[in-house]
Amino acid sequence: MDNVDVGLFERDWNNAIYFFFLNADEQIYLRYGGRDAPAADTYLNLMSLELAGKQALELHSKYQKGELAKTQRPASKFPREIPLLVQRTFANNQCVECHLIGDYINMHREEEGTLDKIKHLYRSPDIKNIGIMLDVPKGLVVKEALSEVGNAGMKAGDRITALNGVPVYTFGDLQHEYDKVDRRAKTVRITVDRAGQTSELTVQLPPRWWWTDLRFRQSSVDARLYFEDRALTKEEKAQHGLKADGFASEVKYVSEIARTLKSHELKVGDIVYGVEGVESDEFAHTAEVYIKLHKLPGDTITLNVLRDGKKFETPLRSFRMSFRK
Amino acid sequence: MVYHRIMKLYWALGLAVFTTLIGTPLRAADDDQLGWHSDYKKALQEAKQTGKPLLVEFRCEA
């Protein structure tokens, strides 16, 4: 990877396979790749790869005829310009695993104070969060249009052609453009082709539309907490006398690592209703997400916990994930 | 189409071993026929000379 221009080929670096179709002027026609949290191959399929190749050849033909406008080439950036990668990987003659590119860039952002967690940690928001279910072998043809996109007028059989006005040809393109959307945005514009007719739909974005399960990003810079939780329902919050708009959540899993590291004493069934007295947040829907968004790995945090009807405080020490497997 | 593949290199016992996540039988046959480049600059040069587009593949332990 030493000489690969990761500026030109910028992507979510937690993908195991990714393709770019481009020309000799380094104009990228389209991308093929992308994933969701549950699986690396949810959106990978030989038929859709073939379709992407055909679309790329059509775009290339247009480019050669001067029918396709040139776009600004992304600024170059090389792995050797990422100091932590040089110090920890190059210097040890170890291979540059793709995820290290993204992980070390985020570590530098963290050091510089420029890490925007809802954007940089929660990369590649899941299109299913707004109801887009693709017919994967057919590329960007919609199989089902649920929730927000259904309300906006999208229908099964539509083909998505642009996001916020930027043409998209593949799921890789769609996910890449969707990732650029401001996490505080309230709407997104999606253009669809329906039997040859083009429509632009304004889709309302729900709270935490950007949220994804980070567990597959094994070396990400988020604080390791060694418990998992689920948001309480409004009814459950009312039953326990907790804030309706709070991030109170029930502990559903405690890792054995927590016992080994003595990082906390939470038990399954505990309700974490606050973190250092804070009970609600603009972005977090659970205590786990609140801590990941607002605390650093290594921080010791006081949790406000409800157990067997009694409220108490208990410490939690977070950890940073080792980057080497 | 000019093909360029950027693969992860495993260094073990002083030997560089290429790895892949794609089905081996299909890949082995296609690799021979397609003539993948492992040097991006050479692939780019060929694309310039032939007017063909490039397919760049990244395979990595993510």
B58 contacts in A (CB within 8 Å)?
Answer: 9, 11, 15, 17-20, 33, 98
A95 contacts in B (CB within 8 Å)?
Answer: 8-11
Distance in Å, alpha carbon of A277 to nearest chain B alpha carbon = 37
Query: What CATH architecture does domain A222-317 belong to?
Result: Roll (2.30)
* Alpha-carbon gap, residue A112 to A268, rounded angstroms: 37
Query: What pLDDT, on a 0 to 100 scale, did the predictor assign at position A321?
Result: 81
Number of domains in chain B: 1
**Which of B9, B44, B59 comes nearest A17 by C-beta?**
B59
Q: Is the pLDDT of residue A324 over 90?
A: no
A209 CB near a chain B CB, below 8 Å?
A: no
Q: Is the pLDDT of residue B42 over 90?
A: yes
Tens of pLDDT, residues A123-151? 999 999 999 999 999 999 999 999 999 99
Query: What pLDDT, on a 0 to 100 scale, did the predictor assign at position B21?
Result: 26
**Which of A16, A20, A24 comes nearest B56 by C-beta?**
A20
Between 2.30.130.30, 2.30.42.60, 1.10.260.40, 3.30.930.10, what CATH number should domain A127-204 receive? Answer: 2.30.42.60
* Alpha-carbon gap, residue A117 to A288, rounded angstroms: 14
Query: What pLDDT, on a 0 to 100 scale, did the predictor assign at position B30?
Result: 57
Q: Any idea where the domains of chain A sit in the sequence?
A: 18-120, 127-204, 222-317
Q: Is the pLDDT of residue A271 over 90?
A: yes
* Distance of alpha carbon B48 from the chain centroid: 18
Tens of pLDDT, residues A214-263? 989 988 888 999 999 999 999 999 999 999 999 999 999 999 999 999 99
Exposure string of B16-53, with b = 16+ CB inside 10 Å and e = fewer, is eeeeeeeeeeeeeeeeeeeebbeebeebbebbeeeebb
Residue ranges making up the domain that contains B18: 2-59
Neighbours of A34 (CB within 10 A): 25
Complex prediction ipTM: 0.88
Longest dimension (CA), chain B: 41
Residues B54 and B2: beta-carbon distance below 8 Å: yes
* Alpha-carbon gap, residue A179 to A44, rounded angstroms: 18
Tens of pLDDT, residues A25-52? 999 999 999 999 999 999 999 999 999 9
**Which of B54, B58, B59 comes nearest A23 by C-beta?**
B54
